[in-house]
Structure 1
Amino acid sequence: MIYNRTSNGCLFKCDSCKSIHLEFNNININFPSKDKYYQFAEYLQDINIASVVKQNAHSPYQRKIVIPIGSGSCNFMLHSGELEDLKRLCLLQLDTNIINMSKLEIDFSLN
C-alpha cells in the first residue's frame, strides 16, 4: 500500500513483510512497526529548518541539516528544500483519508 509519494521518494507498506518503507532519493529506511515510523516522522516534523541551518552554518558540510539514522554513525545530510520535501513525504497519520495512487482509476473521455 502506498501512503504517500513525492518526486523524490515514496512511503509505503510492504504486503509481504508488513514493514513500512521510506525511499527518499538514494536512501531507504525500513521501519518494522508503525511506532518506529511515527517516532521518525514526529522527529522530522519538529525540526525547525531555519534554526538548524543557522546552528550548523559553520559546518564544513555543504548540506547543513544533519539527521542521525540508527545509532548515529549514519546520517541524512540535507539542504532545507530536501528536508521540506522529506517532511511532506512523511505523514503523521498513515491510515486516514489516504488515496492509494497506484489504484486510482479515472474515467474520462477524449471526445
Structure 2
Amino acid sequence: MKIINKTTNGTIFRCNQCNNIHIEYNNLSFSFSPSQFNFFVDFFKNIKANHWEKMNAASPYSRKIIIPVHHRNITLLMNAQEVKEMRVLLGIEKIDLERCPFPKIALETCIN
C-alpha cells in the first residue's frame, strides 16, 4: 500500500496489487478504481458547501450537506468543515496553517 495523502481524519492510499484507490475518512471507507476516484474528486471540486448548508438549513440533520451515493438507502452527510477537509485530503485545495479550521491536519497537506 502506498499512502497518497493524509489528514487528521482521513487517509488515501493505493493498493499495489489491485491498483484501486482507498479512502478512509472518519468512519467511512471508499474503494475506487482510478476512473471512479477521478469522478469522486470531480464531485468534490464542484460542490458548493455553503450553498447546500443554506439550502438545507431547515433539515433535521445536524450535517446539512447531503451527498448521494449509488445506493437508494444511503447518503453521506457532511458539514462545510468536513467538505473542506475532504477537499484537502483529495488534493483539491491546500490550507494555510495560520487560518486552518482544523489545525491538526497533517503538514503534508498544508501550505507552509
TM norm. shorter chain > 0.5: yes
Once residues 67 and 41 of structure 2 are traced to their aligned partners in structure 1, the CA distance between those partners, rounded to angstroms, is 12
1:54 is displaced (CA, Å) by 0.5
1:86 is displaced (CA, Å) by 0.7
1:72 is displaced (CA, Å) by 4.2
Structure 1 residues not aligned, in runs of 5+:
93-100, 102-111
Once residues 29 and 69 of structure 2 are traced to their aligned partners in structure 1, the CA distance between those partners, rounded to angstroms, is 11
Whichever residue aligns with residue 63 of structure 1, its letter is: R
Structure 2 residues not aligned, in runs of 5+:
93-107
Once residues 83 and 76 of structure 1 are traced to their aligned partners in structure 2, the CA distance between those partners, rounded to angstroms, is 11
1:14 is displaced (CA, Å) by 0.9
Q: Secondary structure at the match of 1:58?
A: coil
Once residues 23 and 71 of structure 1 are traced to their aligned partners in structure 2, the CA distance between those partners, rounded to angstroms, is 19
1:7 is displaced (CA, Å) by 0.4
Residue 97 of structure 1 is matched in structure 2 by: none
Residue 49 of structure 1 is matched in structure 2 by: 49
TM-score, normalised relative to structure 2: 0.76
Q: Which runs of 4+ in 1 moved over 3 A?
A: none
TM-score, normalised relative to structure 1: 0.76
Residue 75 of structure 1 is matched in structure 2 by: 75
Counterparts of 1:25-104 in structure 2 under 5 Å? Answer: 25-31=26-32, 33-91=33-91
Instruction: Provide the aligned C-alpha RMSD in A.
Output: 1.5
Asked which structure has the greater CA Rg, the reply is 1
Percent identity of paired positions between Structure 1 and Structure 2: 33
Residue 20 of structure 2 is matched in structure 1 by: 19
